[in-house]
Structure 1
Amino acid sequence: MALTVADFDRALAVYRDGLGLTELADWSSEQGRVVLLDAGRATLELFDERQAEMVDAIEVGRRVSGTVRLALRVVNGAEAAGRLVAAGAEQVAAPVTTPWGDRNVRVQAPDGMQLTLFTPAEAG
């Protein structure tokens, strides 16, 4: 995944410093800035519009996310959200317990990307 961001420093603060993604490489040059961050193993969840509406309703109370939303597994969503907000993200909604038992919290990165920080039920 590659994100193009308008405020590079603020986005880097959120993803690297706030979320704790390890910096693997910095390929910045006179042509532009680029940093490679390790986001671990990924899966792709495909939602239809109705499912996206349902998840937004559970996590936020209304439809707010776009066509792409990152869901990241964390040890403690509230603590992770706090770090992200301190790094420049915006908290979209307070933590909630989902019908399937996970603990989720929604934030929005400076680039507009919505992030669901989730702690699986078995981890809580």
Structure 2
Amino acid sequence: MKTTVKELRLILTVDNLDELIRFYRDTIGLETSKEWHEDAGNGIILDAGRASLELIDSKHAERIDQIEVGKRVAGPVRLALRVVEPIAAATETWIDGGATSVAPPTTAPWSEVSRVQAPDGMQITLFATSTLVD
């Protein structure tokens, strides 16, 4: 019997929680679903609207990095977030909010994309279109 999954949640353990809340919530625009401040620790759940799990082998990861960045740079985990704004404008906003540019906007075979690194070191691909149905 299969398990029915209703939500995919990526959990990042970070040392600079307040800085990353400002980046992911205030700069990127993820909405707060739940936030807690307790003696046992602090946390926040930010809603990205839709989640999917993309599994690729290292050969395909190398191809993606080559297309998006020009060389292999991502580790085993990279976020990809679809944005509504034009890629160049969103990239600039994210950089102003604390990200660093890994590669400028470019056109990949699947979408217009750009690559940034969040203040926590996480590489993020911004993309414009998705094969998922809205």
TM-score for both structures, normalised by structure 1: 0.90
Q: List per-residue Cα deviations over 1:64-102 (Å, max 9, x = no partner).
A: 1010111111122222212211111111110000123x1
Per chain length, whose mean CA-contact separation is higher, i.e. which structure has more relative contact order (CA < 8 Å, sep 6+)?
A: 1
Q: Partners in 2 of 1:86 and 1:52 — Cα distance?
A: 28
| Post-superposition offset of 1:107 | 0.6
> Unmatched 5+ residue regions in structure 2?
1-9
> For residues 121 and 37 of structure 1, do their structure 2 counterparts lie closer, same or farther at Cα, with a shift above 3 Å needed?
closer
**4+ residue runs of structure 1 moved beyond 6 angstroms?**
none
Q: For residue 17 of structure 1, what is the aligned residue in structure 2?
A: 26
Alignment of 1:76-87 (within 5 A): 76-87=86-97
RMSD: 1.6
Q: Which residue of 1 aligns with 2:14?
A: 5
SS at match of 1:110: coil
TM-score in terms of structure 2 length: 0.84
Aligned equivalents of 1:45, 1:107: Cα separation in 2: 19
| Equivalent of 1:97 in 87, 107, 111 | 107
Please identify the structure whose Cα radius of gyration is greater: 2
Report the alpha carbon displacement of residue 53 of structure 1 after superposing the two structures with TM. 0.4
How far 1:121 moved relative to its partner? Answer: 8.3
Q: Give SS of 2:37's match.
A: coil
* Aligned residue number for residue 68 of structure 1: 77
Contact 2:82/2:130, CA 8 A, preserved across alignment:
no
**Any gaps of 5 or more consecutive residues in structure 1?**
none
Identity across the alignment (%): 50
Number of aligned positions between the proteins: 121
